[in-house]
């Protein structure tokens, strides 16, 4: 079946955002006199939304709902203001997105990043591209690997499941695609390694953005 819609994860798939995420989280930890973390540690903290990122970054005794909520609020403020200091598209991504648009393939984003941050990054880095949907974390919508966000995109676009390709860099993304009943592809240039994608059941793995064109 011809692919009519490609749904992308954002962090670790379209954009290398880990530098800004790490700087923002370390900043809010630092003002509280708390231990900070390395780039490599943040690669494993992300993927399940900002709340879980903050929870994982805090010392275990401080992981109370009140502290997590307060640190999250500070993180979102700092991160939103400095969201593109280190963030860049991965090599080949602008060309891939442009080629998909040229071929008339629909584009969408399904992220666990908070909605305002997701929208801002897409506006900044893909200003001339039309996306059918750009969805991040929103109140009342379960985070991935729940299929809710993919199902919402399918309902909005009217594209049949067997004409959709979902693309992401983590086990969460592979599980999301499976739960939604759409084809999934794992990319190896993101924050997680090939072993995690394989363990999650990835049937397609790609090492370069242009390889995704072969899955259409």
pLDDT tens for residues 131-189?
999 999 999 999 999 999 999 999 999 999 999 999 999 999 999 999 999 999 999 99
Tokens at 83, concatenated: 């969201």
| All residues at 6 or more sequence positions from 69 whose CB lies less than 8 Å from its CB, including other chains | none
**Is the pLDDT at 1 greater than 80, yes or no?**
no
Confidence of residue 47 (pLDDT cuts 50, 70, 90): confident
CB neighbours of 171 closer than 8 A, spacing ≥ 6? 192, 196, 197, 199, 200
* pLDDT reported for residue 91: 98
Task: Give 52's contacts (C-beta < 8 A, 6+ positions apart).
Answer: 45
pLDDT of residue 57: 97
Q: What is the pLDDT of residue 139?
A: 95
The DSSP code for 11 is B
Is 162 among the catalytic positions?
A: no
Average pLDDT rounded to a whole number, residues 48-69:
94
Check residue 40 and give its pLDDT: 92
The first and second tokens of residue 200, run together, are 């999650």
**Could you tell me what percent of the chain has a pLDDT over 90?**
97
Contact 40, 202 (CB under 8 A): no
Residue 9 pLDDT greater than 90, yes or no = yes
Give the Cβ contact number of residue 209 at 10 Å. Answer: 22
Average pLDDT value for residue range 85-98? 98
Average confidence (pLDDT) over 104-123: 97
Instruction: Count CB-CB contacts under 10 A for residue 60.
Output: 7
12: pLDDT strictly greater than 90:
yes
- The pLDDT of 8-12, averaged and rounded, is 98
Q: Which of 9, 20, 169, 173 is catalytic?
A: 9
Q: Copy the structure tokens of residue 153.
A: 């995109």
**What SS3 state is found at 203?**
coil
């Amino acid at each position: 079946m011809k692919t009519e819609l490609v749904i992308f994860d954002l962090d670790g798939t379209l954009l290398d955002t880990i530098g800004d995420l790490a700087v923002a989280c370390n900043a809010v930890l630092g003002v509280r006199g708390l231990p900070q973390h390395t780039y490599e540690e943040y690669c494993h903290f992300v993927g399940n939304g900002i709340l879980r990122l903050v929870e994982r970054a805090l010392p275990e005794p401080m992981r109370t709902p009140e502290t997590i909520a307060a640190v999250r609020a500070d993180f979102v403020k700092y991160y939103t203001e400095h969201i593109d200091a280190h963030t860049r598209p991965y090599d080949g991504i602008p060309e891939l997105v442009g080629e998909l648009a040229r071929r008339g393939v629909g584009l969408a984003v399904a992220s666990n990043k908070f909605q305002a941050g997701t929208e801002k990054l897409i506006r900044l880095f893909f200003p001339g591209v039309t996306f059918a949907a750009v969805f991040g974390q929103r109140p009342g919508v379960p985070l991935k690997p729940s299929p809710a966000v993919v199902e919402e995109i399918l309902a909005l676009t009217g594209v049949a499941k067997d004409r959709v390709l979902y693309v992401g860099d983590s086990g969460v993304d592979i599980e999301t695609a499976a739960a939604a009943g759409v084809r999934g592809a794992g990319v190896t240039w993101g924050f997680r390694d090939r072993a995690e994608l394989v363990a999650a059941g990835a049937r397609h793995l790609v090492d370069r953005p242009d390889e995704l064109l072969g899955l259409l």
